[in-house]
Amino acid sequence: MRSRRLGLLFACMIAFSLHAESGSNAWLRYQSLPARVSEADVQGLGDSVALLGSSEVLLAARDEVSRGFRGMLGRIPRHDSAVPAAGGVVIGRPRDVAEALPSGGVEASVPGDGFLIKTVRRGSARYTVVAGATDHGVLYGVFALLRKIALEQPIHALDEKQVPYAPIRWVNHWDTTQKIDGTSSSLRIVTGVALKPGDEIRIEGSPDGGESAALDYI
């Protein structure tokens, strides 16, 4: 009887694990980091996110920072609309960031949808700046910063600039899926998703979890 109960408990644990890891978050899954890493990152990044702007894309970028911090670092950062005196993460266009942190040496011009990630100091305060030439550039920069955090890379002395090679970013190019037994499935999930306003979104068939599963990545 006891072994039967233990078996049932084990089966429930497996079922819960499979449900929790559906895979729908893909690269947006922010797994908790080891305590030593998260504590060091919290100390380096501060406890706030200052957004210099109010567009829908910039708000999404700020919210993604919060989501990533919550998942990986176990902290929910405070949202500010101006640069705080104590330091923190600052996101926005280069010109706005340069005006808010004039001594930070932030370039006022970045080409295309490029972005820069830079550690800036003002007195004893330390800021992690993510500045993009466009609102989408800011979003790309935010994902680049979150990737560094997820890979446990150093984030305390950043100074880099990236300019996308392609003017249009695409995610998810899945075609015919393969079943476990090796046979081919006729399900076509997502032909393509373009990450710029006005670009066409084409979805063929019915993605696993419904169309919302694909649209979550836009």
- Cα(117)–Cα(89) distance, rounded to whole angstroms? 10
- Cα(147)–Cα(193) distance, rounded to whole angstroms? 21
Task: State how far the alpha carbon of 143 is from the alpha carbons of 66, 91, 97, 193, in Å.
Answer: 12, 12, 18, 17
> Residue 108 has what pLDDT?
74
- Cα(31)–Cα(75) distance, rounded to whole angstroms? 13
> Residue 124 has what pLDDT?
92
What residues of the chain score a pLDDT lower than 70? 1-28, 167-218
> Residue 165 has what pLDDT?
76
> Residue 106 has what pLDDT?
86
Q: Quote the pTM value.
A: 0.70
> Residue 28 has what pLDDT?
66
> Residue 204 has what pLDDT?
45
> Residue 166 has what pLDDT?
72
Give every CB contact of residue 166 below 8 A, 6+ residues apart in sequence.
none
> Residue 47 has what pLDDT?
94
> Residue 111 has what pLDDT?
85
Residue 81 φ then ψ, to 5°:
-105, 0
Tens of pLDDT, residues 116-170:
999 999 999 999 999 999 999 999 999 999 999 999 999 999 999 998 777 665 5
Structural tokens at position 138: 């800011």
CA angle 197, 198, 203 (to 5 degrees): 100
Whether 90 contacts 127, CB under 8 Å = yes
Question: What are the chain's domains?
Answer: 26-162 (3.30.379.10), 170-215 (no CATH)
> Residue 107 has what pLDDT?
80
